[in-house]
Amino acid sequence: QKEVEQDPGPLSVPEGAIVSLNCTYSNSAFQYFMWYRQYSRKGPELLMYTYSSGNKEDGRFTAQVDKSSKYISLFIRDSQPSDSATYLCAMSAKGNKLVFGAGTILRVKS
């Protein structure tokens, strides 16, 4: 079993929809949680960063962490075609030795 599980999708939604992306993990030592966005043929870019449990909002994006359930989520409101990408969850116990999920492919149709 992988340390971080993420449904690879693809997830296809109409423009304007609310998107929910999720990851589960098994290592209770993880305390830093990130979401990276990766466009085709590009490197991952940091989208959201959360320490420990709780919510964090940035524009149309909201990240949630539930350490008791070992479950993290990313919500995208009013999704746009430009949001079409692969979304990777990542986490670490300390520092930037990150463990990534497999990534979820998101397609937003106009």
Q: By CB under 8 A, name the binding residues for other proteins.
A: 4, 6, 8, 32, 41-46, 49, 51, 88, 90, 92, 94-103
Q: Are 9 and 1 in contact (CB under 8 A)?
A: no
Nearer to other proteins, 17 or 67 (CB): 67
C-alpha pair distances (Å), 78 with each of 28, 36, 48, 84, 86: 33, 19, 17, 13, 17
C-alpha pair distances (Å), 49 with each of 54, 56, 69: 11, 8, 19
Nearer to other proteins, 8 or 16 (CB): 8
Question: How far apart are CB 15 and other proteins at their closest, in Å?
Answer: 26
Q: What are 60's two structure tokens?
A: 């149309």
Nearer to other proteins, 2 or 77 (CB): 2
Question: How far apart are CB 16 and other proteins at their closest, in Å?
Answer: 28
Nearer to other proteins, 76 or 103 (CB): 103
Question: How far apart are CB 32 and other proteins at their closest, in Å?
Answer: 4
Rounded CA separation 100/110 (Å): 29
